[in-house]
Amino acid sequence: MIVWAVIFDSGWKGETPIQLDMARAKHVACCEATRVAGGEDELTGYGRGSRYSVIVRVYFGSKPTRALRAEAQRALDRLQLPASR
């Protein structure tokens, strides 16, 4: 499992605050131009103070089990987004 996050200048219209909750993640079968066995879960939104946008992706090497999703949530719980950018 890989947890990947990127922060960039905001500018998306209609964006909502990011919630780092695996239950809210959108699951897609796969990724950009490559195959990942378990697919990818993605969370998007703006960060603290609406000053930046965030994309968080969780890539699974195999079909995500309940235990693997719980491990991903623990990783998200440790993710520290900056107060502002």
What are the strands, taking DSSP E only, across 1-85?
Answer: 2-9, 26-28, 40-46, 52-59
Alpha-carbon distance of 85 to 75, in angstroms, equals 22
- The reported pLDDT for the residue numbered 44 is 92
What are the pLDDT tens digits along the chain (85 aa)? 899 999 988 666 678 889 999 999 998 777 666 777 788 899 999 888 778 899 999 999 888 899 999 999 999 999 998 886 4
Q: Which residue has the tokens 């107060």?
A: 83
- The reported pLDDT for the residue numbered 65 is 92
Q: Where in the chain are the domains?
A: 2-78
- The reported pLDDT for the residue numbered 48 is 80
